[in-house]
Structure 1
Amino acid sequence: METPFITDEPLLDEAFKQAMRRLATTVTIITTRGADSLPLGMTATAVTSLSAAPPSLLACVNRSTSIHAHLATGTDFCVNLLSEQHHELSSAFGGKVAPAERFGLGGWDLQHLPYLKDAQVNFACTVDGLFEYGTHTIVIGRIHGIRMPGRFAPLLYGDGRFLSTGSQG
């Protein structure tokens, strides 16, 4: 028997949540500085490339997060692509650790724009556009710097758990 599409509004919300668990994605931490110059950060999986000309990406940020108000001002931010050894750091920035204590974990460079020194990749960006949709804001980041210090071993998240590519490269 063929599986039908779920179209009934009361069931669609839950079906959407369950279906999106099947979308494995790279885990990132988005960082910036607050109005008081203290570093801010949050774990994000809704991040993707947007364009190569100009180099840009987009990140979907829930408007209820503490970092949202600062990104909405058009500030610089950094998207740190995590490696498979960063699962505890991801959990900390995902809410398991108080915001004021998060940057005490991991190897951060906090001189200017906060970035994770041993991330797979760091994208330094400036907010170049904002688009509100539902509970989130789509933040368009114009990339003005890239660091690639690590080997290819991304931390992935899918089906409610951390995954690994098993890459040896």
Structure 2
Amino acid sequence: MNSDGADLPVNADGLKFALRRMSGGVSVITTGQGEERTGATVTSATALSVEPPCMLVSLNRSCSTWPAVARFGHFCVNILGHAHEVLASQFAGLGGLTGADRYRGAKWTQLISGAPVLQGAAAAIDCELEEAIERHSHVIVLGRVVGICIGNGGSLVYRDGRYFAFAE
């Protein structure tokens, strides 16, 4: 590396440190129904293709979200807005909330798949599970888009362990 930076070991900590330098849009991946709802905060949701409409999400295999997506066959990519920082923290597991308790303090609905959809999200992309590719510690989840809901306002961004409001 050049004189402006330091070399890091090629391991999990080094990679996490490097990736924290990259800003990412914050989404909550939701799945399940009723008391069997769960979800996770991610910066790894993106479109795989627009024709046909398909989303790609990377989920840790050890979290509760992946088994629920596999069981229910659906998920929603809820793109968080400026006002959703607390919700992002809840779904990241801060405060010890798990499962359906992570849904507190927000209003939820459904579109087509049955996955929970955040009312007031910057956008929500409702998906049915199309394929899952297990690699190392994560699962690459591919979802066929079956519904889209657009809200108002800018999106929430994550960088260096902090949330930022992305101005329009």
Q: TM-score range by the shorter chain?
A: 0.7 to 0.9
Matches within 5 A, 1:1-150: 2-3=2-3, 6=7, 11-13=9-11, 14-33=13-32, 38-73=36-71, 75-96=73-94, 97-109=97-109, 112-150=114-152
**How far apart are 1:74 and its partner, in Å?**
6.4
Measured in 2, the distance between the counterparts of 1:125 and 1:154 equals 20
Query: Alignment identity in percent?
Result: 33
Q: Report the secondary structure of 2:10's partner residue.
A: helix
Give 3-state SS (helix, strand or coil) of 1:100's partner: helix
Aligned to 1:157: 158
Whole-angstrom distance in 1 between the partners of 2:15 and 2:36: 36
Contact conserved, 1:31 with 1:114, CA < 8 A, in 2? yes
Moved more, 50-59 or 71-80: 71-80
TM-score (normalizing by structure 2): 0.87
Q: How many residues align?
A: 162
With normalisation by structure 1, the TM-score equals 0.86
Unmatched runs of 5 consecutive residues or more in structure 2:
none
Offset at residue 2 of structure 1 (A): 2.9
Do the aligned partners of 1:49 and 1:58 also contact (CA within 8 Å) in 2? yes
Q: Which runs of 5+ in 1 are unaligned?
A: none
Deviation by residue 1:36-94 (Cα, 9 ceiling, x = unmatched):
76322211111111101110110000011112112224601111000011000000111
Q: RMSD of aligned C-alpha atoms?
A: 2.3
CA displacement at 1:104 relative to structure 2:
2.1
Whole-angstrom CA distance in 2 between matches of 1:144 and 1:37: 23
Pairwise CA distance, 1:110: 5.8
2:101 & 2:80 partners in 1: Cα distance? 19
